[in-house]
Structure 1
Amino acid sequence: MELLYMILISSVLTCVSLYYVFNNIHVAGGMKNVKLDRHPLPPGSTGWPIIGETLEYLSTAKKGVPENFVLDRINKYLSSAGNSCKVFKTSLLLQDMAVLCTAGGNKFLFSNEEKLVKSWWPAYLDKLIVGNSEKTLNITEESNRFRMILAPYLKPAGLQKYIGTMDSVTKKYLVTYCDHKDQVKVHQHAKKYAFTLACKLMLDTEDPQLLGKLQRLLKDLSSGFTALPIDLPGTTFNRAIRGSRQLREEIEKIVVERRIKLSTASANSMVDEDGDHGDMLSSLLMEETYSDGKQITESEIADKLYGVIVAGHDSLSSALTTIMMYLAELPQVYDAVLKGN
């Protein structure tokens, strides 16, 4: 199905490119005496009309080396950037953009939020990760507001409460899926383990059938991050959109069921000796309002938990896989870790 769409896209691009070329020739001919006041842009190319350099990026991503897309352009534009390419322009997934290549560039972005730069999502990502309750909100303000709610859970004292749960989930997972096996595909299991742990800590659910359903939906969603943003039946991106919607709906069902459970149970039965509710969902439901007094709705809680689970899934599983790889390659480090050094 996607091959058919690619053929159609190629045909459309040919027509658009011809129009683009002839239109530019016409415009350039009629604007010889017009002086445009433009700021200098970094070196680079925006590639083909509409799709830009998306196909080249996706090609490296599917080979598992997306960094090559950046490295190739750093080397390509070294001379024009004075032997030090710190930024280049490109066009990916329907968006013209500048890519910052250094730690200094990252520092510049993160230290100038809401000053020189502003957080935003490309239009195609809105369909995948932005919830209904968030579409009319300022991304930065909403992130800061929710960060204040999450802060107690991310402090050392808050994290310490979850160590026992993390330990039991880890041991149970290893016994169930990894014991008595000569070989284990780490990345595949790291993804499943990270998702299992996240659902236990945030949603307090270990139901194998529910976890399997949620993980299948998350897999469909994740495939859309590196797919062409073509929202037509049968495409990877369309399947990702449906997976995103269904995953959010399933999480919201859990939120509604938990609120009913909390409202019918006695207050003391849902709280441990430290005044903790055990999982993030129950604690969020007991918060009731943000620090500014605005009520926290079930839909907002579902959207936030959805965002945390999706954002942390690939990053955690990739980190675990990398750690396991280095421990396997460096036996002296493995021995030191095993001894607790």
Structure 2
Amino acid sequence: MWEYLKAGRLGAPENFFLERMANYSPDVFRTKLLGQDVAVFCGPAGNKLLFTNENKYVGSWLPKYLYKLVIFAPGTSKEVIEKETLDIRSNPLPGFLKPEALKEYIHIMDAMAKDHLEEHWAPYKEVKVFLLAKTYSFSFGCNLLMSVKDSKDIARMYGPFKEMLSGLSSLPINFPGTPFNRAVKASRIISEEVMAVVKQRRREIVENRETAIRTDILGKLLEGPEDDGLVCKRIVAFLLGSYNSVSVAITFTISHIAQYPHVYERVFQGMNI
């Protein structure tokens, strides 16, 4: 555990894995991460095994203390965590995530990307892509999932959201002043903010307001049988799942385009067709 944290603080967490691949196996090895026994599958073959066999041979997993941190309130019983975690996994809403379903959000993605570039990129000669990509990813997630578009509302949630994320890779020591303790407090704030949006939308639906008719993920969730608490947990889980994956993909895409001018020219030409 300490070796992994040390490698991360030195800015090279990959060394933790590369050393074990060299010492044990370049394909799969067993180790400990943050006190948890894990098996690490390496390389393209390992990725293919995991991503093509989810819910068949393997399933998504987080240490139990992280479930309490990012989804469940502190003090939630083990039985409740296991039951609601199973409920979340058993209904992954595949229809929302299929390419044909995502088409209806393309105009939202396009408009948000243009606004983001004009505000945060165009005025500057140099930008830090990863930081801006994370800001964009969170804003996009709030819009797509809950139709939260106001910059003040997004900023109010983004601060504790980042604080919560910082606790994911910290030691699970819940004492005042520790990163994990700050993350636990931040997770409560995020849950309260999301729950407020869920309850407001529920009221709009009950009162048959026109504002309740929206095409976001929250609206689709509220059409189902799940209670507001589980809906809130799903939204938080979706925010977490979409944050780093989208921002990392954007960053690597921009990096590769910058490294290969001929690719940039092709992309630029395609945008002006």
Q: Scaled by the length of structure 1, what TM-score is found?
A: 0.71
5+ residue gaps, structure 1, are 1-53, 78-83, 272-276, 290-295
Measured against aligned partners, the alpha-carbon deviations of 1:226-270 in whole angstroms (never above 9, x if no partner) come to 212211100111111111121111101110011112222346x65
**How far, CA to CA, are the matches of 1:317 and 1:242 in structure 2?**
25
**How far, CA to CA, are the matches of 2:129 and 2:104 in structure 1?**
27
Amino acid at match of 2:220: S
The counterpart of 1:137, out of the listed 69, 72, 83, is 83
1:153 Cα shift? 2.1
**How far, CA to CA, are the matches of 2:219 and 2:261 in structure 1?**
42
Contact kept, 8 Å, 1:232 with 1:238, in 2: the verdict is yes
Corresponding residue of 1:90: 31
Change (3 A) 1:175 1:307: same
Residue 303 in structure 1 maps to residue 246 in structure 2: no
1:75 Cα shift? 1.4
Measured against aligned partners, the alpha-carbon deviations of 1:146-172 in whole angstroms (never above 9, x if no partner) come to x2xx22222233211111111111112
Secondary structure in 2 matching 1:135 = helix
The counterpart of 1:178, out of the listed 94, 103, 121, is 121
**How far, CA to CA, are the matches of 2:43 and 2:18 in structure 1?**
11
**How far, CA to CA, are the matches of 2:87 and 2:203 in structure 1?**
30
Corresponding residue of 1:282: 219
My pick for the range that moved more, 186-195 or 240-249, is 240-249
**How far, CA to CA, are the matches of 1:322 and 1:159 in structure 2?**
22
Residue 253 in structure 1 maps to residue 196 in structure 2: yes
Corresponding residue of 1:237: 180
Corresponding residue of 1:162: 105
Contact kept, 8 Å, 1:120 with 1:139, in 2: the verdict is no
1:175 Cα shift? 1.9
**How far, CA to CA, are the matches of 2:188 and 2:155 in structure 1?**
17
Measured against aligned partners, the alpha-carbon deviations of 1:195-233 in whole angstroms (never above 9, x if no partner) come to 111111111011222111111111101111221221110
The structure, 1 or 2, with the larger RCO (C-alpha pairs under 8 Å, 6+ apart) is: 2
Structure that is richer in helix per residue = 2
Structure having the higher Rg: 1
**How far, CA to CA, are the matches of 2:98 and 2:162 in structure 1?**
30
Contact kept, 8 Å, 1:61 with 1:226, in 2: the verdict is no
Change (3 A) 1:217 1:120: same
**How far, CA to CA, are the matches of 2:59 and 2:106 in structure 1?**
36
Q: Scaled by the length of structure 2, what TM-score is found?
A: 0.87
**How far, CA to CA, are the matches of 1:178 and 1:90 in structure 2?**
42
The counterpart of 2:9, out of the listed 62, 67, 80, is 62
Secondary structure in 1 matching 2:118 = helix
1:280 Cα shift? 1.3
The counterpart of 2:243, out of the listed 281, 289, 313, is 313
**Superposition CA RMSD, Å:** 2.5
5+ residue gaps, structure 2, are none
Contact kept, 8 Å, 2:145 with 2:218, in 1: the verdict is yes
The counterpart of 1:200, out of the listed 143, 148, 151, is 143
Contact kept, 8 Å, 1:119 with 1:140, in 2: the verdict is no
Amino acid at match of 2:175: L
Amino acid at match of 2:69: L
The size of the alignment, in residue pairs, is 266
Residue 216 in structure 1 maps to residue 162 in structure 2: no
Corresponding residue of 2:19: 72
Contact kept, 8 Å, 1:113 with 1:119, in 2: the verdict is yes
